[in-house]
Amino acid sequence: MPSCHITVPQNLALQPHPIARNKTVAVTKLSAGTTILTVPCLCKVLLPAEKSLRCDFCLCIPDPNQNALRRCTGCISYWYCDTKCQLAHWRTHKKYCKNFNKYSASRQFSQLESYEKLDMMLLTHLLAELSARDAEETDITEVDTFRSLLPGPVSERISLLTCPLTTNYKPHANPGELFSRFGRNNFVIHSHFTTIAHGIFPLASRLFNHSCLPNAIAKYILTPAAEVQMTVVVIRDVSPDEEILIPYVDPALLETRQKMFKFTYGFTCTCASCRALDNIMSHQSLIDLEDISTHCAALRRHVFPTVTSDNPIISLPDTPPDLNNVPPELQDILQESLLAKLCELFRNASHDGPVEVAQETGLAVLAFYVLIYPPNYPQIGMHALEMAKTAWNAIITSESAGSLNEISRTSLLKQARACLGLSRHILDKVGSEGDAGGPLVEMQVLNGLLKSEANRKGGVNLNGYVLREVSARFTRYLAGKRTEYVRFKRKV
């Protein structure tokens, strides 16, 4: 494996790790919300579902008030905000534009699994980037860092594949050697915590190991006409010498996450959450997952014992969850499929009612998250925001149907304010990320609506604004979709 000097940010230090080669520790105390690293993207590829919806250069969604995306007339397979983005991308796109369609329609390509297709496209983009850097004689520190990353196995079938490059480019490393770094090191790029692309951020890969109870998270900054950047933010106070750990996969994938560590990353996670979960899963009894009300009640009783419709104030723990303390009847329901079911029920009911179902399942999802995720994990904040918007929408829709009494209004308003407070507490630490708009703007809008509601005089509806966009992201947050482009089975 090529050695390479790594320049580590000032407040961090690289130290030996017994299994994972190196670990990165804090040098000084870091408080929650501190950005510890911002790095450029070496190259990236949009998920097929995002193609033609986002710019292939800057990954942004076009402003609806401006022109639609322009298509590359050469391959008609790449889309751009405007000439500026297209020209910026042409630096590398010209290296495969002409051969792209023949390649993507080829038998060898169509026989690949979806994650393999995505990887081959990423490899093509990487080779084109290396070729451009070679020609430009630009700084190759990032490339050297990428080549020094821990490799994983590559199947012979994959190493025999070619990329649609128009010139016979022989980069510093052969394609197989580059490809072998993908599985253990690449990142999913997300906007508002929904995956949109895969990308290579070499320094971040080199620095951070995984934990299912992380103290930091990666977020992505999308700027029109600029390359995407990754930023790593600590989500709780970190002491000097403490290792900085990020989640490689969503810790809520209770059953699949260990398989992903094994097959994709080549290690067994031994964090406190995985150790407790292994024990729980070896004792789980069969339960009726369809008995939703019973499971919702059990989750609420254990996690939020004081929350009722009269007292909807939810407080979240500020210490990491310990699954060893979960009572046996709850241990049986700690299942990924139940969480997916609860998310789906919440999404449907928060759109179409009944509001009681949205409240019951929404609180159960929050309880589930509190049992799995560490404090300030973005998904907890995102879900609290969905619950706040759901309560707001319930006020507006039942009011316009003439079915809202004063007691329900007061309770729903309390709920909306309490949930908005929780989401602000978390998402303000995470800060802005992804596309324009998103949760920070939604929180501002809802805050304004709740304030105007507080000033409202005797029964006159000053603001009938329903936050319709509320739960669209839940449709993409169900278990199946979370793992579509992830390797589960390594075919070597």
Ligand X SMILES: C[S@@+](CC[C@H](N)C(=O)[O-])C[C@H]1O[C@@H](n2cnc3c(N)ncnc32)[C@H](O)[C@@H]1O
483: closest CA among 199, 264, 282?
264
Q: Which is nearer to ligand X, 22 or 397 (CB)?
A: 22
Burial grade of 254 (CB within 10 A; 0-12, 13-18, 19 or more): buried
Q: Which is nearer to ligand X, 163 or 218 (CB)?
A: 218
Residue 150 found at the interface with ligand X (CB under 6 A): yes
Residue 210 found at the interface with ligand X (CB under 6 A): yes
Contact set for ligand X, span 308-367 (CB under 6 A) = none
Closest CB 220 distance from ligand X, rounded Å:
17
Residue 218 found at the interface with ligand X (CB under 6 A): no
* Binding region for ligand X (CB under 6 A) out of 18-26, 72-80, 431-439, 447-455: 18-26
212: closest CA among 409, 340, 369?
369
Closest CB 487 distance from ligand X, rounded Å:
12
Number of residues that bind ligand X (CB under 6 A): 17
Closest CB 9 distance from ligand X, rounded Å:
15
485: closest CA among 119, 219, 217?
119
CA distance 252 to 368: 9
Residue 262 found at the interface with ligand X (CB under 6 A): no
Closest CB 433 distance from ligand X, rounded Å:
20
Question: Would you state the structure tokens that stand for residue 343, as one six-digit string?
Answer: 């998310």
Closest CB 23 distance from ligand X, rounded Å:
6
Give CA 36 to chain center in angstroms. 18
Near ligand X by CB under 6 A: residue from 9, 11, 13, 21: 21
Q: Which is nearer to ligand X, 249 or 307 (CB)?
A: 249
Q: Which is nearer to ligand X, 20 or 289 (CB)?
A: 20
Give the three-state DSSP class for 289: coil
CA distance 368 to 317: 13
* Binding region for ligand X (CB under 6 A) out of 202-210, 391-399, 400-408, 461-469: 202-210
Give the type of residue at 441. V
Four-CA torsion 435, 440, 445, 447, nearest 10 degrees: 170
Beta-ladder partners of 217: 233
* Binding region for ligand X (CB under 6 A) out of 228-236, 249-257, 264-272, 466-474: 264-272
Closest CB 305 distance from ligand X, rounded Å:
33
Closest CB 21 distance from ligand X, rounded Å:
3
Residue 19 found at the interface with ligand X (CB under 6 A): yes
Q: Any idea what the Cα angle at residue 273 is, between residues 270 and 278, rounded to 5°?
A: 70
CA distance 378 to 385: 11
Closest CB 268 distance from ligand X, rounded Å:
7
Cα–Cα separations (whole angstroms), residue 192 to 20, 80, 215, 388, 491: 30, 21, 19, 17, 32
CA distance 320 to 375: 6
Backbone angles phi, psi at 229, to 5 degrees: -120, 150
Four-CA torsion 134, 140, 144, 147, nearest 10 degrees: -40
> What are the DSSP E strand ranges found in 27-98?
35-40, 43-46, 70-71, 79-80
* Binding region for ligand X (CB under 6 A) out of 20-28, 53-61, 95-103, 483-491: 20-28
Residue 265 found at the interface with ligand X (CB under 6 A): yes
How many CB atoms are located within 10 Å of the residue 466 CB?
Answer: 16
Residue 206 found at the interface with ligand X (CB under 6 A): yes
Closest CB 387 distance from ligand X, rounded Å:
32
* Binding region for ligand X (CB under 6 A) out of 44-52, 79-87, 174-182, 206-214: 206-214
Q: Which is nearer to ligand X, 69 or 213 (CB)?
A: 213
Closest CB 237 distance from ligand X, rounded Å:
21
Taking phi over 0 as left and psi of -120 to 50 as alpha, with beta for the rest, 137 belongs to left
Q: Is the peptide bond before 320 cis (omega within 30 degrees of 0)?
A: no
Element (H, E) at 237: none
* Binding region for ligand X (CB under 6 A) out of 203-211, 213-221, 283-291, 469-477: 203-211
Residue 185 found at the interface with ligand X (CB under 6 A): yes
> What are the DSSP E strand ranges found in 333-402?
none
Residue 267 found at the interface with ligand X (CB under 6 A): yes
Near ligand X by CB under 6 A: residue from 11, 22, 397, 432: 22
Residue 205 found at the interface with ligand X (CB under 6 A): yes
Closest CB 374 distance from ligand X, rounded Å:
15
Q: State the residues that interact with ligand X by CB under 6 A.
A: 17, 19-22, 149-150, 184-185, 205-206, 209-210, 265-267, 269
